[in-house]
A and B are shown apart, each in its own frame.
Chain A
Amino acid sequence: MAKRVVIDPITRIEGHLRVEVVLDENNVIKDAYSSATLWRGIEVILKGRDPRDAGFMTQRICGVCTYSHYKAGITAVENALGIEPPLNAKLTRTLLDFALFFHDHIVHFYQLHALDWVDIISALKADPKKASEEAFKYVPKGYEPIATGEDHLREVQKRVAKFAEKGDLGPFKNAYWGHQTMRFTPEQNLIALSHYLKTLEMQRIAAQMMAIFGGKNPHPQSLTVGGVTCVMDLQDPARLAEYMTKFKELADYTNRAYYADIVMAAAAYGNEPSVVQKNNLGNYLTYRTMQTSANSWLFDACGYIKDFDLSKFYEIDESKIEEDVTHSWYKDTGFRHPYNGETVPEYTGYVDGESINGEGKLVHTKVANPEGKYSWIKSPRYNKEPMEVGPLACMVVNYAKGNEKVRKVVDEFLAQTGLPAEALFTTLGRTAARMLQTKTIADYGLEAFNNLVENLKVDKTTVTPYVIDKNKEYKGRFIGDVPRGMLSHWCRIKDGKIENWQAVVPSTWNAGPVDGNGKKGAYEVNLIGMKLADPTKPLEVIRNIHSYDPCIACAVHVMDVKGKKLGEFKVDPLYGAC
C-alpha cells in the first residue's frame, strides 16, 4: 500500500514550503506534491502607487536574493517609460549582481545545503593530517586549498567536539547524521566543515561588497529609475579599490574552497543513486544577465533547450510565457500571460489524511488534495510546457548556445571530475552548476569592473532623466536571470500610477503544482523514481529540494484581486527580444 511522507516545514530555505511524497512498497517515490503555505499579496499592494516606488516594494519580496527584485522593479519601470540608464549605471548594477551571486551561492551551498551532504558528527572521527593532504586532490589546477591546513583542521575539530559534548546541539540537533546516503569520509566531512565555518566570514565580505555601491545589505538602496545614486562612491578610487579587493577575495575562495568541495562531492557521491538519478524534466530556460560592456553580457543566452538536448538552442518568445492556477489557491481557469493575470485567492486548505511520522508510525496529518488546489504557488509554463530555471538552466542553455566562457568552465569541470555532460542533469549537477556559475563570475567578472573604470574616465553620467506623462499609458517588463533562475516583472502604468504589476519568479517555475494539463513542475516530477533509504528520515528528498535553493516568499505573491483584463502584450523594442 502506498505510504505518504509529509515534510513541513522544509527548513534551510527562504519561506514556508511543504513537500509530500507517496512511496510504493519499496520506498520508491511514485508521486510528489509541492505546496507553498504562505501568501503575502505584494502585487495588489503595488497598485495605485508611484511607479518610482515599485522597486523598493518589490525588493521586499525577498531578503535573501535581496537585490534581484529591486533591480527588476526599477528596470521594468525604465522599460515601460522607454528610457535607458547610462552605461555607468548598468555596469554598477552588474557589480551589485556579482556581490549578490557570490553571497547567495556560497551561503546556499555551505549554510543551507551542506548539512544534506556533510555529516558533522563524522568529522569528529577524522584524522586532520590525512584530511589536510586529501584537500589537495580537489582544487583546480594552479590553486592551493584554503582553511584546510592540519593545524587549522585540528582546531575546527576541537571546537566542534566541545560543541557536541554539551549534549545539546542547538540548531544542529535531531538532523539526519549517520544517514546511509551520506557518503563523505570523516576526512572529507572535516574539510567541508572547516569551509562551513569559513563561509560565515566570506559571506560578510560579499555583503560588504554589495554595500560599497549599494548602501547596505540586505535591501540595498542606491538604485533609482534611470540609474544609480552612488555617484560619490563611484568617483572615489578608494571605494573602487575596496570593491576590487573584495571581489578578488571571493573569486579566490570560489576556486580554493567552493569549486574544490564540489569536485570532492562529485567523487564521493558519484555512486549514490538518489543524487545522480537523471531528472525527469529535460527542459531548461534562461535569460541573459550581467551586462559587462555596452553590448555584452556574461551569460548572454535568452532561450531554452528541450529534452536534455545540448545540441539545439531555441530562442525565447516572451508571448509564450503563461501561468495556470488549476491547482493553486486562486480562482480562475486556463493559462494566462502575466500581462493578463487574473487571480483571486481561494483557499481550500488541506484534507485529512495520514502520513509516516519521525518514528515510522502512521499518524493523522493534513495532506494535499491532488484533485483540488494545494499551493499558493502558480504554475508558469512556456508554450504550455514546464521548464526548470536556475543556475543549471543558465549553464546548460548558455553551453548549448555556444557561450565560450561557460563552455570553458563547464568542460574543465567535467574533465577534472571525469563526469559526462549527462551528469549535469541531476541533483549533483544542479548543485555543481550553481558553483560553476559562481566560477564563471570569478574568472570573468572583473571585465565589467574594468570597463566601468574605463568609462568613468570619460563619462560621469549615472542617471538618465525622464518624465512620467500622466496622460500616457505605459507597459514594460524586466526579464533576466537572478541567483535562482529566470525572473520577470511585468507592469502597466496609467495616470502616472501603477495600474498592474505581476512577477513570475524562479521558484514559481520550479516549485509550482501540477498544471491544468496534468504536467508537473520541476520539484514534483524530478522527485519521482527516487528511492528512500528510510521514510522516517527523508534526507534524499530534502537534498533534492535544497538543490534548487527554494525561495518561497518570492514565489507566492501573485494576485490581481480586481481581475482586470490588461490588454495585449507587446515587446518593447528598446530592450527587445535578444
Chain B
Amino acid sequence: MNDALMKQMKERIEALKKLPGVGSKSIKDVLEENGFTRRDFLKWSAAMAAMLGLPASFAPVVAEAAEVSDRLPVVWLHLAECTGCSESLLRTDAPTIDDLIFNYINLQYHDTIMAAAGWQAEENYEEALEKFAGRFILCVEGGVPTKDGGEYLTIGPEAETGLAKLKRTASKAAAIIAVGTCSSFGGIQAAYPNPTGTVGINKVLNKPVINVPGCPPSAKNIVGTIVYVILYGQLPAVDNFNRPKWAYGLRIHDLCERRGHFDAGEFVEQFGDAGAENGFCLYKVGCKGPYTFNNCSRERFNQHTSWPVQAGHGCIGCSEPDFWDSMAPYEEPLANKKFMSVDADATADKVGITILTVAGVAIAAHAALSAIKNPKE
C-alpha cells in the first residue's frame, strides 16, 4: 500500500519537474537566503507529512513536493468576502517554512497584494488563464452571490458578475480550493435570510472543490492542502463536507487544553467568574468545540500564540457549514439553541441541560458527545 503510494507520489513529482518553473533556484537556495538549514527543512517536511497523515518515511517526498512548488501556478479570486483569509495567509509563520512555500508558489493573480491595477490587472488575469489553462490551482476566497443573476458582485471594466467570472475561471483550473467558510459554505452573507442568495462555490461548479473552511482558516491548513495537491495530483480524502480529513478529522474538543476540566465537571458558569480565572471548561458559556471539526486546539493561531479557548472564549464553530445559524447564540450551550424555530438536537439538549449541570457525571456527557462523529465518507 505504502509502496504504491510512494510510487504514485514520485511519479507525480517527476511529472511536475518537467513543467516550466518560475525560477531557476531551488527551495534549497531560498532556504539558504533566508538563513535556514536543510535540517530545518526536513524537520518541517516530517511535521507536514505527519499533519497529512503520512508515515514518517514519506518526509523526503514531502520535501521534494515543496521543492517543485514553483511549478504550481496559483490564481486567487476574491468574491463576497472580508479578506480575512488573505490576511490569515499574510500572517503565516515566519520565518518558518510555511511562509516560504507560500512565497514560492507561482502566484499569478491576487488582487490584495499585486502591483498592477485596472486594465493592467485584468491583462494579468486573462494571460494567466490562457498561459496556464488546465494547470493552475484556483483558490477562491469568498462566497458567490447568485440572486438576480449574481448582480451583487461585479468585477472589471465590463462589470462581469462574480458568478460568471468564477465559472469561467474554474473551467480552466486544474484544482479548486475553497479557502475559508465563505467560499466553502457561503459564510456570513449566506446566513438567514441570505439577501444576496450567496452560496459556497461548489454549488455552482461542476468540478470537485476542496473546502478549507474556517473564519478564517489557519495558514497551515491552506498550505497543507496545496502541498497535498502537489503530492497526489488529486484532491485529499475528505469528509461529507469536502474538508480534508487530515485537518478536519478531529473535533476541537478532542485535544482541547481545558478538556480535563470538562471531564472533571468544572465549568465557567459565566464570563468573569472564578471558574474563568481558573481556566475551567467553557461549554456552559457556549463553547462549540464538541461539535466542531478542526485542528485549532492542536495548531492554534499566530505562531501558536493563542486560540479563542485559551483567551477564555468558547469556540463558535466557524469551520462548520451554516454555523452562523446553526451554532447561535454563540455564548449559550447548543442545548439552549432556539433560532428560527429550529431546536438543537436531542442529544445536545440532554447533555447541556440535564447532565452537565450535575457535577461529577461529565464522563457520561463525554460519552454522549463522543457519539457525534465527523461525517466521514
Report A193 CB to chain B, min CB distance, Å: 12
In the complex with contacts A41-B189, A170-B108, A222-B331 CB distance below 8 A? no
Report B154 CB to chain A, min CB distance, Å: 5
* Closest chain A residue to B195, Cβ basis: A41
Report B204 CB to chain A, min CB distance, Å: 17
Interface residues of A in 141-189 (CB under 8 A from B): 155, 159, 162-163, 166, 168-176
A411 to B306, CA, bound (A): 40
Comparing A223-231, A315-323, A516-524, the segment that makes contact with chain B is A223-231
Counting CB contacts under 8 A, is B354 at the interface?
no
Interface residues of A in 500-556 (CB under 8 A from B): 536-538, 542, 553
Report yes or no: A230 in contact with B312, Cβ–Cβ below 8 A.
yes
A112 to B215, CA, bound (A): 23
Mark B94-133 against chain A: 1 for CB-CB distance below 8 A, else 0.
1100000000001111111111111111111000000000
Report yes or no: B82 in contact with A175, Cβ–Cβ below 8 A.
no
Report A231 CB to chain B, min CB distance, Å: 5
Mark A331-370 against chain B: 1 for CB-CB distance below 8 A, else 0.
0000000000000010101100001011000001110000
* Closest chain B residue to A60, Cβ basis: B188
* Closest chain B residue to A376, Cβ basis: B152
Report yes or no: B106 in contact with A170, Cβ–Cβ below 8 A.
yes
Report yes or no: A15 in contact with B301, Cβ–Cβ below 8 A.
no
Interface residues of A in 1-58 (CB under 8 A from B): 5-16, 37-42, 44-45, 48-50, 52-53, 56-57
Report yes or no: B188 in contact with A9, Cβ–Cβ below 8 A.
no
In the complex with contacts A52-B330, A231-B272, A16-B78 CB distance below 8 A? yes
A364 to B156, CA, bound (A): 12
In the complex with contacts A39-B196, A211-B302, A226-B82 CB distance below 8 A? no
Report B346 CB to chain A, min CB distance, Å: 22
A57 to B190, CA, bound (A): 12
Counting CB contacts under 8 A, is A122 at the interface?
no
A44 to B197, CA, bound (A): 13
- Of the four ranges (under 10, 10 to 19, 20 to 34, 35 or more), the interface on chain B belongs to 35 or more
A66 to B88, CA, bound (A): 11
Report A243 CB to chain B, min CB distance, Å: 11
Report yes or no: A208 in contact with B303, Cβ–Cβ below 8 A.
yes
Counting CB contacts under 8 A, is B191 at the interface?
yes
**Which of A10, A120, A219, A366 neighbours the largest number of chain B CB atoms within 10 Å of its CB?**
A219
Report yes or no: B272 in contact with A203, Cβ–Cβ below 8 A.
no
A173 to B125, CA, bound (A): 11
Collect the chain A residues with CB atoms within 8 Å of residue B22's CB: 166, 168, 170
A169 to B116, CA, bound (A): 11
Report yes or no: B188 in contact with A216, Cβ–Cβ below 8 A.
no
Collect the chain A residues with CB atoms within 8 Å of residue B270's CB: 463, 465
* Closest chain A residue to B74, Cβ basis: A170
Report A240 CB to chain B, min CB distance, Å: 14
Counting CB contacts under 8 A, is B84 at the interface?
yes
Counting CB contacts under 8 A, is A312 at the interface?
no
In the complex with contacts A44-B193, A60-B82, A173-B116, A218-B94 CB distance below 8 A? no
Report A33 CB to chain B, min CB distance, Å: 13
Within 8 Å by CB of B155, from A9, A203, A216, lies: A9
Report yes or no: B121 in contact with A174, Cβ–Cβ below 8 A.
yes
Report B181 CB to chain A, min CB distance, Å: 9
Collect the chain A residues with CB atoms within 8 Å of residue B121's CB: 9, 11, 174
Report A563 CB to chain B, min CB distance, Å: 13
Collect the chain B residues with CB atoms within 8 Å of residue A111's CB: 90, 113
A66 to B91, CA, bound (A): 13
Report yes or no: A10 in contact with B118, Cβ–Cβ below 8 A.
yes
Mark B312-341 against chain A: 1 for CB-CB distance below 8 A, else 0.
110010000000100011111000000110
Report yes or no: A201 in contact with B188, Cβ–Cβ below 8 A.
no
Report yes or no: B158 in contact with A366, Cβ–Cβ below 8 A.
yes
Counting CB contacts under 8 A, is A82 at the interface?
no
Counting CB contacts under 8 A, is B151 at the interface?
yes
A313 to B106, CA, bound (A): 52
Counting CB contacts under 8 A, is B81 at the interface?
yes
**Which of B153, B188, B328 neighbours the largest number of chain A CB atoms within 10 Å of its CB?**
B188
Counting CB contacts under 8 A, is A450 at the interface?
no
Report yes or no: A211 in contact with B111, Cβ–Cβ below 8 A.
no
Within 8 Å by CB of A462, from B115, B272, B328, lies: B272
A230 to B156, CA, bound (A): 44
Interface residues of A in 182-239 (CB under 8 A from B): 200-201, 203-204, 207-208, 210-222, 224, 226-233, 235
Collect the chain A residues with CB atoms within 8 Å of residue B195's CB: 41, 44-45, 345, 559, 561
Report B82 CB to chain A, min CB distance, Å: 4
Q: How many residues of A contact B (CB 8 A)?
A: 104
In the complex with contacts A39-B196, A57-B324, A159-B33, A349-B305 CB distance below 8 A? no
Report yes or no: B312 in contact with A107, Cβ–Cβ below 8 A.
no
Within 8 Å by CB of B111, from A11, A61, A538, lies: A11
Collect the chain A residues with CB atoms within 8 Å of residue B113's CB: 12, 111, 171
Mark B165-177 against chain A: 1 for CB-CB distance below 8 A, else 0.
0000000000000
Report B153 CB to chain A, min CB distance, Å: 5
**Which of A7, A112, A231 neighbours the largest number of chain B CB atoms within 10 Å of its CB?**
A231
A211 to B304, CA, bound (A): 9
Report B310 CB to chain A, min CB distance, Å: 6
Collect the chain B residues with CB atoms within 8 Å of residue A347's CB: 148, 151-152
In the complex with contacts A52-B330, A349-B151, A40-B118 CB distance below 8 A? no
Report yes or no: A166 in contact with B24, Cβ–Cβ below 8 A.
yes
A112 to B195, CA, bound (A): 31
Interface residues of A in 109-134 (CB under 8 A from B): 111-112, 115, 120
Counting CB contacts under 8 A, is A62 at the interface?
yes
A-B contact pairs, 15 of them (CB 8 A): A12-B112, A12-B117, A38-B80, A39-B145, A41-B196, A64-B83, A112-B112, A155-B33, A171-B114, A171-B115, A204-B302, A216-B308, A229-B313, A365-B158, A536-B119
Shortest 3 CB-CB contacts between residues of A and residues of B = A63-B84, A463-B272, A215-B311
**Additional 6 contacts, C-beta under 8 A, given A49-B339, A112-B112, A355-B157:** A8-B157, A40-B80, A63-B82, A166-B22, A222-B308, A537-B120
User: Which residues from chain B sit less than 8 Å from chain A, CB to CB?
Assistant: 22-25, 33, 78, 80-88, 90-91, 93-95, 106-124, 145, 148, 151-159, 162, 187-189, 191-196, 198, 215-216, 270-272, 276-277, 279, 300-303, 305-313, 316, 324, 328-332, 339-340
User: Which residues from chain A sit less than 8 Å from chain B, CB to CB?
Assistant: 5-16, 37-42, 44-45, 48-50, 52-53, 56-57, 60-64, 66, 107, 111-112, 115, 120, 155, 159, 162-163, 166, 168-176, 200-201, 203-204, 207-208, 210-222, 224, 226-233, 235, 345, 347, 349-350, 355, 357-358, 364-366, 376, 460-463, 465, 536-538, 542, 553, 559, 561
